[in-house]
Amino acid sequence: MKIAIASDHAGYRYKEEIKRHLLDKGHEVRDFGTESGETCDYPAFIYPAARAVAQGECERGIVLGGSGNGEAITANRVRGIRCALCWNADTARLGREHNDANMISIGERTISLETALRIVDIWLTTPFEGGRHQRRIDLIDQMM
């Protein structure tokens, strides 16, 4: 799977670890930055990653920050993106099963690296249930 990844300075360390994890599992990763832990403005990196997912250049996307909130908000401004803020296995699983999340946002300052990697693995392997959930996704798309 081709996966977009991006972070600000506060999510940089986990971004690098998750990128390595994805590559080890055979995924293709497109890194939109940032390239260090130096203070930066997250929209400059998150928006291009979300746009790549929305335009089909990448199948899914992972964005990271301190809390993950600003990154999720930025990604969700792009039409066609459903970015779930995940902090445990359940939010990752439900983001896929019920919301067909094509992106996730993770806060490096809020969870352990082990939990972040588990979230990524669950999100990548959980299918969308469809059914009543598809109707809701369609309603969201109609409103945009």
- Known catalytic residues are 71, 98
- Residue 65, phi then psi, degrees to nearest 5: -155, -160
142's CB contacts (< 8 A; 6+ apart) are none
Please measure the distance between the N-terminal and C-terminal CA atoms of the chain and give it in whole angstroms: 27
Structure-token match 């998750």, residue found: 18
Question: What's the Cα-to-Cα distance from 50 to each of 5, 64, 83, 110, 133, rounded to whole Å?
Answer: 9, 12, 9, 22, 22
Q: Give bridge partners of residue 85 from the DSSP assignment.
A: 105
What's the rounded Cα separation, in Å, for the pair 118 and 135?
29
